[in-house]
Amino acid sequence: MGNFGQSGILSAGQITHLAAYLQLPPPDAPPLPMADIQASWDLVIPVTSRPFTPEHERNWENYTGVILRDAGQVAIFDGDTNEELIRLSTGFAVHILRSSSTGRYFYAIGRDGLVTMIDLWTTVPTIVANVKGCHDARSVDGSKFPGFEDTYIIEGCYWPPQYVVYDGLTLEPKQRVDLPMVDIEGTTLIENRVASIVASHNAPVWVIALKEAGIVSVVDYSDPAGVDFPITANINTEKFLHDGGFDHTGHYFLVAANTSNKMVVIDLADQSLAATIDTGDKPHPGRGVNWLDPDFGWVNATPHIGEGKVTVYGADPVGRPDVAWQIVRDIPLPSAGSLFIKSHDASPWVLVDMTLSATGHDQDICAIFKATGTLDHCFTVAKNGKAVHMEFNKDGSEVWVSDWATDGAVIVLDSTTLEEIRRFTGLPTPTGKFNVYNTAYDIY
């Protein structure tokens, strides 16, 4: 509590009124009905007015979108020429980008629930549509199953407890669906936030993690009429579900249940819980990481917010069933506070940040050598703020890291030597970065 009285900001009377106000029952959080969602829809450029082929000669699959969080903007860079092409306004405290299955479109999600669709084929990337389906949101994804490329988009809400499906080319709202308000113990919920979303490669479905419920739900988008997008399965897992991504085959979805200190493994082929893995304190993988370990075959891993370690588990039930979903390595880090981990087949390293470090490592990232499965070294990349989130370019020769500050930067490292090649400066609060090719094809 600030000392508002002693510092002269509020009078004694104002403090009395404020205290009385704070004791009033809060108003109900507002719904967002379909009519309001429809009214928010803005088709800036109709499909018929968009190019049929790229209007430019650029290698658009190597564009990288950089979230400028506090500016509510996305900066789009040409990763071949290293030019910043444009900054576009994309919603309050914009959170992440996802690519459409073809990569042509970026979808941005603002914390205010605004979905923005950006066309990368126009001379300069252009906003072609936007819509608001939530008051509060963190996730969005497109349909990726063959036959449904760029057909639909789903937006998951933090509030209200709902998801909304849109047309994949125009963002025209198709359906708003209420979430089931019951958790894995059968308790009725007043809040049930949609956390991570992935577009399955096994079926025309999205897989959505329901945070408070501890349930992973399957949303079917195969209705031939294109009007009904129901939940067709609810898979009980653990609480509270947060961030996650695919294994190296795309057949499994691995998601953090961060208050249970577990990773949850969903088999997307038979839509069931394949395993739970006890990790360390508050696993936080982002979309996670996959690499070929010399001793244990394909593995997946998570760092943690609550302790300084990377937990590595076998992730190849076909080739290495002996270690599938078993912890094979615990790699200590110099600090807790990690948010993201990333690699690429072209790099010998697995890189991990320690953004929330309270012990002086928040400007550093650490490099794990894949060939030995051990921590090689940690080094400082950020100058003005905190080092956060890594993203590779299309061919994996570079890795981009954010210096998250008001006067921030993106530092580009050679993905083999880890030497700095370039630094994009003058970026307000850069956080997540999303390469078109790697995001469209789930490469991490």
365 binds ligand DHE (CB under 6 A): no
Single out the residue of 63, 84, 59, 167 nearest to residue 439, CA to CA: 63
Q: Tell me whether residue 129 or residue 207 sits nearer to ligand DHE (CB atom).
A: 207
- Interacting residues of 123 by C-beta distance below 8 A, sequence separation 6+: 55, 56
What are residue 49's phi and psi, to 5 degrees?
-95, 5
Q: Tell me whether residue 153 or residue 328 sits nearer to ligand DHE (CB atom).
A: 153
Residues 37-76 that bind ligand DHE (CB under 6 A): 69
Q: Tell me whether residue 277 or residue 390 sits nearer to ligand DHE (CB atom).
A: 390
Residue showing the smallest CB distance to ligand DHE in the complex: 432
Residues 387-426 that bind ligand DHE (CB under 6 A): 388-389
Q: Least distance from C-beta 224 to ligand DHE, angstroms?
A: 27
Q: Which stretch binds ligand DHE (CB under 6 A): 193-201, 230-238, 266-274, 316-324?
A: 193-201
In total, the chain counts a number of residues equal to 444
Q: Which amino acid is at 7?
A: S
Exactly one of 128, 153, 165, 195 binds ligand DHE (CB under 6 A); that residue is: 195
197 binds ligand DHE (CB under 6 A): yes
Number of residues that bind ligand DHE (CB under 6 A): 17
Q: Which stretch binds ligand DHE (CB under 6 A): 28-36, 122-130, 192-200, 313-321?
A: 192-200
DSSP-based three-state secondary structure for 290: strand
Residues 126-145 that bind ligand DHE (CB under 6 A): 138-139
Q: Least distance from C-beta 242 to ligand DHE, angstroms?
A: 6
96 binds ligand DHE (CB under 6 A): yes
Single out the residue of 401, 363, 370 nearest to residue 384, CA to CA: 363
- Interacting residues of 54 by C-beta distance below 8 A, sequence separation 6+: 60, 120, 121
Q: Least distance from C-beta 286 to ligand DHE, angstroms?
A: 4
Exactly one of 95, 176, 239, 251 binds ligand DHE (CB under 6 A); that residue is: 95
- Tell me, residue by residue from 251 to 290, as one string, x for binding to ligand DHE by CB under 6 A and - for no binding: -----------------------------------xx---
Q: Tell me whether residue 95 or residue 174 sits nearer to ligand DHE (CB atom).
A: 95
Omega before 240 cis (within 30°)?
A: yes
Q: Tell me whether residue 141 or residue 307 sits nearer to ligand DHE (CB atom).
A: 141
What are residue 186's phi and psi, to 5 degrees?
90, 5
Q: Tell me whether residue 285 or residue 297 sits nearer to ligand DHE (CB atom).
A: 285
Q: Which stretch binds ligand DHE (CB under 6 A): 143-151, 191-199, 267-275, 289-297?
A: 191-199
- Interacting residues of 265 by C-beta distance below 8 A, sequence separation 6+: 252, 253, 254, 273, 274, 275, 276, 277, 325
DSSP letter at 26? P
Bridge partners (DSSP) of residue 367 are 351, 377
Q: Tell me whether residue 142 or residue 286 sits nearer to ligand DHE (CB atom).
A: 286
Q: Tell me whether residue 243 or residue 307 sits nearer to ligand DHE (CB atom).
A: 243
Q: Distance between alpha carbon 406 and the CA centroid of its chain, in Å? A: 22
Strand order in the sheet with 374-380: 341-342, 349-353, 364-369, 374-380
Q: Tell me whether residue 69 or residue 320 sits nearer to ligand DHE (CB atom).
A: 69
292-302: b or e for each residue (b if 16 or more CB lie within 10 Å)?
ebeebbbbbbb
Torsion of CA 387, 388, 393, 396, to 10 degrees: 80
Q: Least distance from C-beta 75 to ligand DHE, angstroms?
A: 14
- Taking phi first (over 0 means left), then psi (-120 to 50 degrees means alpha), and beta for anything else, what does residue 112 get? alpha
Q: Least distance from C-beta 287 to ligand DHE, angstroms?
A: 4
Q: Where are the beta strands (DSSP E) in 2-94?
A: 42-43, 63-68, 73-78, 83-89
Q: Which stretch binds ligand DHE (CB under 6 A): 42-50, 127-135, 190-198, 370-378?
A: 190-198
* Interface residues toward ligand DHE, by CB under 6 A: 69, 95-96, 138-139, 195-197, 242-243, 286-287, 339, 388-389, 431-432
